[in-house]
Amino acid sequence: MTEIKNDKDHLDDYCEECGCEDESVSQNLLMFGYKICASCKISKTIFPI
Ligand SMILES: [Zn+2]
């Protein structure tokens, strides 16, 4: 039962751009609405789609 909860927490920390797991992903999701890591956030800032 605890495995399901832990797995859900992990999914929340996966970057949708590169697929890496980083604690910054959930922070960026809260602040910008994007599930991206710090590295991908910089890429988006420099080269916005
Ligand atoms: Zn990323």
Check residue 38 and give its pLDDT.
94
The predicted-structure confidence for 18-35, as pLDDT tens digits, reads as follows 999 999 999 999 998 989
Please check the confidence at residue 42 and state whether its pLDDT lies above 80.
yes
Q: What is the C-alpha to C-alpha distance for residues 17 and 1, in angstroms, rounded to an integer?
A: 29
- Check: pTM over 0.85? Answer yes or no: no
Domain containing residue 11: 2-46
Please check the confidence at residue 11 and state whether its pLDDT lies above 90.
no
> What domain count does the chain have?
1
Check residue 3 and give its pLDDT.
58
Residues 6 or more apart whose CB falls under 8 angstroms from that of 14 comprise 20, 21, 25, 35
Residue 15 Cα, ligand 1 centroid: separation in angstroms? 5
Q: What is the C-alpha to C-alpha distance for residues 6 and 47, in angstroms, rounded to an integer?
A: 34
Residue 39 Cα, ligand 1 centroid: separation in angstroms? 6
In this prediction, residue 47 has a pLDDT band, given cuts at 50, 70 and 90, of low
